[in-house]
Every structure is written in structure tokens, then in C-alpha cells.
Amino acid sequence: MAFKNEIQAALKVRGNNVIHYEYVHSGEEYPELPPYVIMEYADNGTLREVIEQRKKIKTFYSTEELFGIFRQLANGMNDINSLLVHRDIKPENILLCGSVLKISDFGLSKVAVEKTRTITFKGSGTPLYMSPEAWDFSKNTIQMDIYSMGIIFYELAALEYPYSPLPRTQEEAKDLHLYSAIQNLSNFNHKLDPKIVSIINRMLEKVPKKRFKSWTEIIQSLEQTSDLDSSLDNVVAMAVATKNSYDLQRQRQESELRKKEKQKDDFCKLVRSQFDNTIISILQKYVDKMNMGYAGVDKAQLRYNGDIISRQNFISCKLVALKGKYVDINIEIVLKENHVRKVPIDRFWNDGQQYRQEEYIPQYRGKNIMAFGEISNSKGLGYNLLLVDSGEIYGDWLIMENKNNLSHMSQEKYRNEPFAFDIEELPYEIERVQGTHLYTSDFKEYSDDKFIGIINMLALM
């Protein structure tokens, strides 16, 4: 049914710059034959072959030639996108009939209003030309095709691919489209009309809303060419080139922010998975076994949902073993941006010590702390948990048992033992307890038995 619907839509696409579908056999009229399509014949190869030939002879297209080629392609896409989202734009799918460019292979494209979350028989596109949002199988939009065609426009103008290095795997391609900035077109072809650069830069914006809204907008921009005959035209061209540079700089900054956000998100997911696999896993076994052995009404509960977290880098769960008694576990995933300390400024003249603020990652014995938190019960007693970087992808959990250092203790600083430091205190206390301090701490390697022994004690107190 999908094949029939999409082919029927493709049959209606007409235009000077699209391959015409002359006849479609769905398999019904001649059951003995498989489905097939008869299309207009293109006799002069593909745009990929043309681009590769240009690269070999190292000859750029002139401004006039580029505007002419871009208009053909934009007109063809305008005709296709009036009915379909192509979603597999690439130079191999652009054919030459004589000297006329014609876009092909849109017969199995998605209907423009369709939304899909899975890869169909059409696939989701060719990795080198897929828009950032296409990787998430988002709703099909014209902006997806605008981005893909923007890459082809770039290749025609620069005779180079916009991203470097050229991706070798699908995952590398995804990372480039989602998180990397394009290379400056003018670095490859310094004679490019600044208007061409600005059109391509806008087509290749990561955020769909920042791209052109329609092919009509692109066609109008392509029609408004300047001959750069007057001094005013040259001044304007310089101003446009400057604006292009600012746009490219903004895109780089936005790409860098997206990359950092991705790294942060991946790190948080990694820590959460370790929390789930280690802490939640054994707590759930503890609760299940307790409830199996208890025939009463007030069953033990573990309240936790790893997917619903009010703040990205915090994890919380609550264990209720007895009515009115509980154990809370609160963990902060350590992100450098959330920890600031004062650092002395070195000065050559003596005018008093000054400090600057510095972001940092708290450490335990020279190793970065990936996460830390507190285990505390309804009476305020507890322990601390640390996840310390082990040098491998996964860290090592440590249990931190804290006591008063009676030789340095004053009455107002005394805490009932065992006690947990608040999360806010931990960076300071971890650093201090390793020397002479009001409190001492014992850092023990995590084991399921040790951890459940502590949980059981706190839950039943």
C-alpha cells in the first residue's frame, strides 16, 4: 500500500528539472511480473560524475554557471516538494538529460506530511547528505531536503565536501551533521560571490527553523544576482562577506555548544547506567526478597524512576522498609561547570593576594570524582557514596564512612555517628578528611554485601 500511494504521488510530479515517471506497475495488472517503474531516460550520466570530473581538472564553476545550476536544482526540488519530501538527495540521484539537470529517485520518498520513527524500505537517506534531524527519524519536512541539497550546492561551489575529515562510518557522519561546523567555503574558492556563500550557509544551518522556509525563498534569492560592476556593488559584496564570516563563526559556536551538551548528556547517561546496574539492582533484589519473606500488608518499597529526573545531573531514590522509616540516596553527577573554587593570581608586584574563580572537578587521591552523594535515614544517620574515575569507561564505587575526630572536636561541631556529609559539603570535606581535620573518613571499596549491610542497618534503625 505504501509503495502504491507514494508511486501515485510521484506520477503527479511534473517539471523541467525532474525525471518523469511514465508508467508504474504495482504487481496487480500483470501478477506474473514484479513491481516496476518506467521513467524518462537520462542520457548524460549523473551529477556525481560531473563533480568528480571537475575535481580532476581542478576547474571551478563560474558565478554565472553556479547560479544557473542552482536555479535548475531549486526549481526541480520545488516541484518535488510540492507533493513529496525526497529524503535521499545526493549527486547520484541527479541526472543529466543533455545539459539539463533532472532530479530522480523520488518514487519511494515519504509523503510530505508523514511522520515515521522507523527505517522503511526506502531507508532514511544517505549518511553523507542526511540532515541533523533525519538521524532521529523526525517528521519529514522540506527543510530536510533543503539541507541535503545545500551540501550539493557546497560541493558544486567548492569542489569539496563541507565537513572534514570525510566520515568513514555512519556514526562519524551522524556526529558531523549534528555537532560539527562546516568549513568556510571561501577557503576553497576565494572568488565565490558572497551571495552564494550566504545562501549555502543558510541551507546548512543545523536548526531547521534557521534554514529557508521554502524553495520559493531560495529561488528568489538566486534571481537577485549582482554583477559587481559599480563601486557600490563591491562595497556591498564586502559587507555581505563580513556577515557570512559572522554567520559561520556563530554556527561554529553553536556546534561547539551542541557537542559539549552531547558529551555532558553521554556522561550523565553513563553514570546513571552505573547507578542502575550497581545500586538500584541490588536494592531491588533486597526489596523483592524482603517482600517474599514477609506476609504482612506493609510491603517494602523502592521508589525510583531513572527517566524522570528534575535536574540533569541528580539522581534520587527512596527505600521504605518499615512504616515511618526510610533511607534516601541522593547522588550528584559531577560536572565541571557546577564546581567553582578560588585560585590565587600570581603577580610580580606585592599589592596583596588576589584570586580568580576557576571551574574544576573534585578529586579523591588524584582521581576525578564522577559522582558523589549521601545515604541517609529518617534519623539523619548515614554514609556517603563516591564514584571515582578508574581510568576505564566505568568508575569504581567507594563507600565513605565518617566519624568525629575527637582530638580536634568542639561540642558545636560534633555529629551523631555514623553521619553523611551533605552533597554541598562533599568537595570540601573529601579534600580535608585526608589530612588533619575535625572529621575522619574511611573510604571502603564497594561490594554488594557491604552496601546492603549498611542499607539494612539504616532502614531498620
Please give the chain's pLDDT, 461 residues, in tens.
Answer: 555 666 677 788 899 999 988 877 777 778 888 877 788 888 899 999 999 999 999 999 999 999 999 999 999 999 999 988 888 999 999 999 999 999 998 755 443 334 333 333 234 578 999 999 999 887 889 999 999 999 999 999 999 999 999 999 999 999 999 999 999 999 999 999 999 999 999 999 999 999 999 999 999 999 876 565 666 667 777 888 889 889 999 999 999 999 999 899 999 999 999 999 999 999 999 999 999 998 898 899 999 865 444 467 999 999 998 888 999 999 999 999 999 988 887 655 555 568 889 999 999 999 999 999 999 999 999 999 999 998 888 899 999 999 988 776 677 788 899 999 999 999 988 988 756 678 889 999 999 999 999 999 999 88
Residue 154: exposure state from Cβ atoms within 10 A (0-12, 13-18, ≥19): buried
β-strand partners of 401? 442
- What pLDDT does 10 receive? 76
CATH classification number, 2-225, choose in 1.10.510.10, 3.40.50.720, 2.30.38.10, 3.40.190.150: 1.10.510.10
Location of C-alpha cell 576553497: 188
210: CB partners within 8 A, 6+ apart? 202
- What pLDDT does 114 receive? 42
- What pLDDT does 308 receive? 45
| CATH 1.10.510.10 boundaries in the chain | 2-225
Q: Please give the grid coordinates belonging to residue 387.
A: 564514584
- What pLDDT does 120 receive? 33
Distance CA 218, CA 67 (A): 11
For residue 137, which of 158, 115, 155 has the smallest C-alpha distance? 115
Q: What share of the chain is helix, strand, coil (3-state, %, to 5)?
A: 45, 20, 40
Pairing relationship of beta strands 94-97 and 367-377 according to DSSP bridges: unpaired
Q: Please give the grid coordinates belonging to residue 324.
A: 515511618
Location of C-alpha cell 554583477: 227
Pinpoint the alpha helices (H) of 182-230: 185-188, 194-203, 215-223
